[in-house]
């Protein structure tokens, strides 16, 4: 019995030292693939906008890349609370519902919404035009509230909407800019028109942030500070330009 206790105790100590060894690496949970933010390169390694940005943040704090843990979206917050990783760096929008469970860093990107049209649609002259949106998205809220003289056509999926835009049933569609750019096929008549829309914050939200356990306020402060540094010293812009041809900085 005594022997067993000693063995158990020494195992615990060993396990602890193993943990302590990894303490200087920040483990980050991510839901991949979600291109262009995170996806697997042909050689199997993780890459993408958030992976590169996350690694810069980790380097700023520990001098090393993050240790990435892939976790499906719906398990991301439970995995964080179960200590499978120390932060979530996975396009998680900051909202009040999530703030009840986790602590958010400063936001590090926000995607604007954009109009796409085949007929040179002008958002300032929307009277009687048919505009497609995905049902109950922030884009739906925005169009319903601000373009009251337009006819709002609500779709279940963005693909159906793109088909109707292609066939001429819609004058324009209003979607997340990266989603819209992804839908447009080679040689299509559809182009992005008008200004990118990010305002008001009430509708479009506060962007995307890294998430932490509530008690890890120190790590949160370090990451927020590192993000500010990277945004200022030009590394952020370098990474952004490689993945996007529009501004997602916030």
d(CA 163, CA 161): 5
Closest distance to another protein from the beta carbon of 189 (Å)? 12
Is residue 169 near another protein by the rule CB under 8 A? yes
Is residue 163 near another protein by the rule CB under 8 A? yes
* Total residues binding another protein (CB under 8 A): 13
Q: Is the Cβ–Cβ distance between 76 and 92 less than 8 Å?
A: yes
d(CA 105, CA 225): 9
Closest distance to another protein from the beta carbon of 137 (Å)? 8
Nearer to another protein (CB atom), residue 99 or residue 169: 169
Nearer to another protein (CB atom), residue 48 or residue 132: 132
Residues 173-202 that bind another protein (CB under 8 A): none
Closest distance to another protein from the beta carbon of 201 (Å)? 20
d(CA 104, CA 92): 9
Is residue 167 near another protein by the rule CB under 8 A? yes
d(CA 103, CA 63): 24
Nearer to another protein (CB atom), residue 43 or residue 159: 159
Region binding another protein by CB under 8 A among candidate stretches 72-80, 164-172, 200-208, 224-232: 164-172
Return the H-helix or E-strand segment holding 103: strand 103-109
For 69, the 3-state DSSP assignment is strand
Residues 120-149 that bind another protein (CB under 8 A): 135-136
Neighbours of 19 (CB within 10 A): 10
Is residue 156 near another protein by the rule CB under 8 A? yes
Closest distance to another protein from the beta carbon of 13 (Å)? 47
Question: Which of 25, 153, 203, 225 touches another protein by CB under 8 A?
Answer: 153
Q: What counts of helices (H) and strands (E) characterise the chain?
A: 10, 12
Q: 12 is written with which tokens?
A: 């615990």
In angstroms, how far is CA 186 from the centroid of its own chain? 26
Question: Which of 155, 204, 212, 236 touches another protein by CB under 8 A?
Answer: 155
Return the H-helix or E-strand segment holding 40: strand 39-40
Residues interacting with another protein, by CB under 8 A? 135-136, 153-156, 160, 163-164, 166-169
């Amino acid at each position: 019995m005594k022997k067993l206790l000693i063995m158990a105790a020494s195992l615990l100590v060993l396990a602890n030292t193993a943990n302590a060894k990894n303490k200087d690496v920040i483990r980050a949970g991510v839901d991949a693939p979600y291109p262009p933010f995170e996806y697997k390169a042909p050689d199997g390694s993780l890459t993408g906008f958030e992976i590169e940005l996350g690694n810069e943040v980790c380097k700023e704090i520990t001098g090393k890349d993050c240790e990435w843990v892939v976790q499906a979206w719906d398990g991301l917050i439970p995995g964080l609370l179960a200590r499978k990783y120390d932060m979530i760096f996975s396009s998680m929008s900051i909202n009040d519902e999530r703030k009840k469970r986790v602590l958010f860093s400063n936001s590090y990107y926000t995607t604007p919404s954009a109009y796409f049209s085949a007929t040179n649609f002008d958002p300032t002259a929307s009277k009687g035009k048919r505009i497609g949106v995905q049902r109950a998205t922030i884009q739906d809220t925005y169009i319903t509230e601000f373009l009251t003289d337009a006819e709002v056509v609500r779709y279940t999926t963005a693909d159906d909407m793109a088909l109707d835009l292609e066939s001429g049933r819609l004058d324009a569609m209003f979607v997340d800019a990266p989603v819209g750019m992804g839908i447009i096929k080679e040689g299509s008549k559809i182009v992005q028109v008008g200004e990118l829309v990010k305002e008001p914050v009430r509708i479009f939200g506060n962007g995307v942030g890294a998430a932490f356990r509530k008690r890890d306020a120190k790590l949160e402060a370090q990451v927020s500070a590192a993000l500010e540094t990277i945004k200022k010293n030009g590394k952020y812009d370098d990474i952004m330009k490689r993945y996007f041809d529009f501004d997602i900085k916030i």
